Chain A
Amino acid sequence: MGGVSGSQTEHIVGSSAPRKEGRDKVSGCARYIDDLSFPHMLYGATVRSQIPRGKIKKIDFGPGVAWNEFVIVSAKDIPGRNWVALIENDQPCLAADVVNHPEEAILLLAHPRRHALPKAVAAVEIEYEALPAVFTMDSSERQEQIIWGTDNVFKSYRIEKGDVDSVWAKADYIVEGEYSTGAQEQLYIETNGVIAAFDAEKGITVWGSLQCPYYVHKALVELCGLPEDKVRVVQTETGGAFGGKEDYPSMIAAHASLLAMKAGRPVKIIYDRAEDMAATTKRHPSRTRHRTALSKDGKILGGEIDLVIDGGAYMTLSPVVLSRATIHAGGPYYWPNVRVRAKAVATNTPPHGAFRGFGAPQALFAIERHMERLARAVGLSPAEIRRRNFLQPGQTTITEQVINEPIDLGKLLDRALGLADYEQKKRRFAKENPLGSEKKGMGIAAFLHGAGFTGSGERHLASVVGVEGSADGGVKVLVSSTEFGQGTNTVLCQIAAEALGLPYEDVTMARPDTGEVPNSGPTVASRTAMVVGKLVASAALGLKQTLVAAGLLKGNGTAAEFRAACRAYVAAHQRLRSLARYESPEGIYWDDQKYRGEAYAAFTWAIYVAEVTVNLTSYSTRVDDFVALQEVGRVMNPVLARGQILGGVAQGIGFALYEKVEWREGRMANSQMTNYTIPTSADLPAVRVFFEELGNRYGAFGAKGIGELPMDGPAPAVVNAVEDALGIPFDSVPLLPESIFEGVERAAAWRATTARTPAGVR
């Protein structure tokens, strides 16, 4: 397809078409799940475990509650299978005998009055026989208790490229480091919520705030024991997701459905903020160890990378998150020899899940911090160590995927450093830093992000999209791909309009409703513009061909002629619909066993530069300037694309400096916005966003993915800048003032010790 040059509507893709649903959103008319209400609707609530691990001995319904007014559901009421279907069906919908984390759902209650629920939930008394629990990756790895399977390991991967064992003898330097990242809450401003209704004829219908209608559909079919056509899932306007509404909605939809089936009335469940933060998924904590062999001129000869992520109590999406972490572990560098060992382990905390970046931010934090250590060992600058090791076209990634696009990371780096005024600021800060209690520093992060599903993922998904012409001559895009702020509606309409030569206003989106739209796959993995977009373009062209074949349209008709042809076709045939199914491009090779081959259809590339001030009175860090330069294929919509980068960078700065989940016995102790801090408008610099556009032959009009990339770079760029400011390395995020204080104290103590040691003794 490529550029469709010369077309009269060439400007639609690549223009800042206004957000499709924007007008409703800015005027407060957009209807989110909690804005909907059905006659005779009940409100549901969840009774959760109070302990991290144990057996359920007895459940009592305590005094002071009119229990006869409540609908009560336990595991016994589940008509089908008691699991939340996903990868491995290990997570029960309701705990029957045992609990494995402190937020596990045990009972469900429903009542006509929302306010009657909290007291009832608190009045349920559950007696447990507590079992010893596991709270850290270390103790899970040591297998002090076996809490999952035979070895606490959900999944492991191993990559072997070249011969790592041979490099150590040749190395001029061997550099080791250990890096860790904490859990991070997605903190979409709209909490999880659904409404379920049951009808003996029609089956179950669920409306909700969610990313993946067909995931929920599959889970409900298995849970309710209903045929596929008796389960319908409809996405309502969704107030942020970021991965946090990828798998969890299957759980809350299951709960509401069970209550609705038992009650015979619609049931709404909306989590309050504390429940949402504590009970739903967060970003996987991680620990990565690097051991790297370097030549004296700073070239990577090879290395071993050991990566562990904390999956929580059940598998959920951990294997897929781990996969992305594994493949991104080498960063945008050339490794002639490498061994990556990666595993996801179980702990007795709520399952960790999808969050923008999906394992890549964890792995890239580690390699981008490690590059600083490599630079120090060899005596090169942070820019130079990267430049000497950047992947070049024709070289292979750690999975031996050949880079076959003309990406020039050295040039990208030069441009970013120029935009950031990097060298001049470094010199100025070196002069000024000794003078005051405010220390300034500059930090670089270089990174890549694979767009779309990993390896054979897209082939297995085999997504289908539809484009429909309507009786009024307009065109509708039919996909299960959802809008939750990132711009799905707008960009897919731009693509269809461009492909058909129609004005943007003539194209609309069908509501994602499994009863109405085909399964275009989940809205995850930065795949929507690239993969789904390409299918929309091809379905749109199919629609046009149908009209041409019917003799209703000439090849290059005007928009008015198209509308007339559409109307004529629908009048004659009732329905005008064109479907397109994903077909894997030829020559794509992926070995799931050896983790070798073409991991992604496209990579996006970026260099971020952060400038920070660390205040040594308050030990707080402020980001003063931030340059985000990236190559994301064709920029489909400049305003939306910039918005994706700005939002991702903000979340990345939060991940780096503010957002800490405090764990107490497997439970999030700070499940409030007052004590889990995300950046406000006063905390962020005016981030500067720049694009390069190489295009991509696998994506619609050259699109690659964009959503996740900006989450990957800010944490290492900011922490590298803090190291530059203070001369002290920090290897964990979030990097809070107390950690900086400790680091500064430790460095001072170390300097005092070494100063007392006579020269020559050490």
Chain B
Amino acid sequence: MKTEISFVVNGERRSVRAYPMERLLDVLRQQLSLTGTKEGCGEGECGACSVLIDGELATSCLVPVAQAEGTSVVTIEGVAANLRFGALREAFLNCGGAQCGICTPGMMVAAVALLARKPNPTADDIREGLSGNLCRCTGYLQILEAVAEAARRTAAR
């Protein structure tokens, strides 16, 4: 049976009627029209559906929406408001961090989470921080370089 579930999405209080076991991913994409979050595998393996739940990185395809009750969810659309995002976006564009773009929103969310935790990450921190996000186009290196560049730019400010 559908129930009412309330949570904060990208800073705004939202209420949805949904089956408690519906995937947070589907509620975000279909009910809230936040289609920046992508589905790649549906089993938490690829990270394309990454969002932040109370600041923690999560794969929204594995989260029943009931579990989001009372939390604060940030999607790629909300990440754009993050101060670090501008630097990340420019670095991704400069370094060739996006090719087909389907993994990119998840990568950006994971990168924001990483930089929030470690503003001055080492190369290994970045590799490790993004290892839960699969990309089939880039071979990752230009993504890793983009995150490093974004961290440098932000630190220099």
Contacts and interface: CB of A to CB of B under 8 A. Distances in A.
A28 B36 contact: yes
Nearest to A239: B102
Interface in B10-46: 29, 35-43, 45-46
Contacts of B97: 26
Interface string B103-146: 11100100000000000000000011011111111111111100
A651 B36 CA distance: 26
A273 B136 CA distance: 14
Given A273-B43, A672-B41, A22 B144 contact: no
Most chain A Cβ neighbours within 10 Å, of B40, B80, B92, B142: B40
Most chain A Cβ neighbours within 10 Å, of B75, B77, B92, B135: B135
Interface in B43-68: 43, 45-46, 48
A686 B43 contact: no
A31 B35 contact: yes
A189 B40 contact: yes
Given A26-B89, A26-B108, A680 B131 contact: yes
Interface stretch (A51-59, A146-154, A283-291, A636-644): A636-644
A240 B101 CA distance: 8
Interface residues on B, range: 35 or more
B43 A640 contact: no
Most chain B Cβ neighbours within 10 Å, of A649, A679, A680: A680
B106 to A, nearest CB: 9
Interface string B61-87: 000000000000001110010000000
A241 B142 CA distance: 19
Interface residues of A, number: 56
B100 interface: yes
A240 B142 CA distance: 17
A32 interface: yes
Nearest to A646: B139
A376 interface: no
Contacts of B133: 681
Nearest to B99: A485
B45 A674 contact: yes
A26 B139 contact: no
A27 interface: yes
A684 B140 contact: yes
A627 interface: no
B95 interface: yes
B131 A681 contact: yes
B76 A239 contact: no
B9 interface: no
B137 A647 contact: yes
A28 B98 CA distance: 11
A678 interface: yes
A273 B42 contact: yes
Nearest to A270: B39
A23 interface: yes
A639 B42 CA distance: 32
A679 B135 CA distance: 9
A671 B39 CA distance: 16
A35 interface: yes
A241 B101 CA distance: 12
B102 A32 contact: yes
Given A25-B101, A34-B35, A643-B142, 4 more contacts: A18-B93, A25-B104, A239-B102, A672-B43
27 contacts: A16-B94, A16-B96, A19-B93, A22-B101, A24-B101, A26-B89, A27-B89, A28-B37, A28-B75, A29-B36, A189-B38, A189-B40, A189-B102, A189-B135, A189-B136, A190-B100, A239-B100, A240-B99, A240-B102, A240-B136, A273-B40, A273-B42, A646-B141, A647-B136, A673-B134, A686-B141, A687-B139
